[in-house]
């Protein structure tokens, strides 16, 4: 959601090139779209995200690129506001749609058409949410991805040309079923089970990787570095999110240890952390505590949405993040200890805090100045 046009960025050689050469500009737009999945309006962050994805799966990477290009081109052809497009706001849902559909449906030519249609839809939904909620400063988050991907995924049961992958498996709920809580990599067997440093490290980094459906330690490491390139505060909250998510699920609620290992209780908390940690509220001690509670709640919501969808065998995607973050963002100015940020001012956590402190200082100075007699 971050539109960052500070001088230090505009003056960099790449940005100059992107301003002058339309092709580089388009490439820059795509990379920013990739970075915006974790709210980082920075082409280098986006490039590192892409590298992290391709390291884990070239197939998912290609599917993501199709979605990224289609949703961005859709916004260009339909004449969306250029500054929004340039900030990558139409690309980030498209890349997630592409990866998400390729993750849950077997590859064939029809899937490519399906991804193109769903990525197109994600750009339409993004503009719709901007139009409906932008005026009240409520961000769309990854809702366009969740809506578009769900609408296309649910249908695969009824479409012969779109064979679902093994990840789609409806189950009957049983309140007496035992939840297995061992932290371990495999769904069956206890090989490598236990709360070991190695398992915790795996869970921690996979939690960051799973934001893009990447169940991979190295990818998680690259993602964290990619965020750090643009914002230390966002990187801190991304790390906090994955940590809080795994610890909460593991110790507080007794969640499935296989899910925890593979980062499934982490990625929504990661996104909640980044969003609440200095972007939609100014980074303060109060907002940090608020963000921590948002992360914890998101792990509960991950479980609840997964349960709600289990008769359909459908994945929660990033809906737990979208729903939880919305619930925590809706109060905005209603809680006086928090300082909400207008959508147009959502740049990076550092800039937002800097501007806030400057304003506070100005008011403080103004207060102490004596009025002229």
Q: How far apart are CA 246 and CA 234, in angstroms?
A: 18
* Residues 254-293: x where in contact with a second copy by CB under 8 A, - otherwise, as a string: xxx-----------------------------x---x--x
Q: How far apart are CA 320 and CA 304, in angstroms?
A: 9
Residue 205 in the binding site for a second copy (CB under 8 A): no
Cβ distance to a second copy smaller for residue 74 or 231: 74
* Residues 11-50: x where in contact with a second copy by CB under 8 A, - otherwise, as a string: ----------------------------------------
CB of 220 to a second copy, least distance (A): 23
Cβ distance to a second copy smaller for residue 124 or 228: 124
* Residues 211-250: x where in contact with a second copy by CB under 8 A, - otherwise, as a string: ----------------------------------------
- Per the CB < 8 A criterion, the answer to whether 62 and 112 are in contact is no
Please state, in angstroms and as integers, the Cα–Cα distance from residue 205 to each residue in 17, 56, 148, 245, following that order. 34, 13, 27, 12
Question: Residues binding a second copy: what is the number (CB under 8 A)?
Answer: 83
Binders of a second copy in range 288-347 (CB under 8 A)? 290, 293, 296-297, 300-308, 311-313, 323, 326-338
How would DSSP label each residue in 91-124?
HHHHHHHHHHHHHHB--SHHHHHHHHHHHHHHHH
Cβ distance to a second copy smaller for residue 126 or 217: 126
How would DSSP label each residue in 4-67?
---HHHHTSHHHHHHHH-HHHHHHHHHHHHHHGGGT---HHHHHHHHHHHHHH-HHHHHHHHHH
Question: Quick one: tokens of 355?
Answer: 């501007």
Residue 160 in the binding site for a second copy (CB under 8 A): yes
């Amino acid at each position: 959601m971050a539109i960052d046009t500070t001088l230090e960025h505009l003056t960099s050689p790449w940005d100059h090139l992107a301003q002058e050469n339309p092709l580089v500009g388009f490439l820059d737009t795509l990379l920013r779209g990739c970075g915006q999945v974790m709210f980082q309006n920075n082409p280098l962050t986006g490039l590192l995200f892409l590298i992290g994805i391709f390291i884990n799966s070239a197939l998912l990477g290609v599917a993501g690129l199709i979605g990224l290009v289609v949703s961005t081109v859709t916004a260009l052809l339909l004449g969306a506001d250029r500054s929004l497009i340039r900030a990558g706001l139409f690309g980030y849902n498209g890349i997630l749609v592409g990866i998400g559909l390729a993750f849950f449906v077997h590859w064939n030519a029809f899937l490519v058409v399906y991804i193109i249609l769903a990525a197109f839809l994600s750009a339409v939904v993004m503009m719709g949410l901007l139009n409906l909620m932008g005026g009240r400063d409520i961000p769309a988050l990854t809702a366009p991805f969740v809506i578009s991907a769900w609408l296309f995924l649910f249908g695969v049961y009824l479409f012969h040309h779109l064979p679902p992958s093994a990840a789609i498996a409806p189950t009957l709920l049983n309140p007496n079923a035992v939840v297995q809580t061992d932290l371990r990599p495999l769904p069956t067997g206890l090989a490598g089970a236990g709360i070991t440093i190695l398992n915790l490290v795996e869970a921690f980094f996979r939690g960051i990787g799973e934001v893009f459906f990447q169940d991979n330690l190295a990818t998680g490491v690259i993602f964290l570095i990619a965020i750090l390139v643009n914002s230390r505060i966002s990187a801190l909250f991304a790390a906090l999110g994955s940590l809080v998510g795994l610890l909460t699920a593991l110790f507080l609620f007794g969640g499935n240890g296989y899910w925890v290992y593979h980062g499934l209780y982490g990625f929504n908390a990661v996104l909640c952390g980044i969003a609440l940690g200095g972007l939609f509220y100014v980074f303060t001690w109060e907002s940090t505590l608020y963000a921590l509670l948002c992360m914890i709640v998101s792990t509960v919501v991950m479980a609840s949405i997964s349960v709600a969808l289990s008769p359909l065998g459908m994945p929660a995607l990033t809906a737990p993040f979208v729903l939880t973050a919305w619930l925590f963002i809706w109060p905005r100015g209603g809680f006086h200890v928090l300082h909400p940020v207008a959508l147009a001012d959502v740049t990076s956590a550092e800039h937002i805090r800097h501007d806030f402190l400057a304003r506070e200082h100005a008011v403080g100075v103004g207060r102490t100045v004596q009025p002229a007699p």
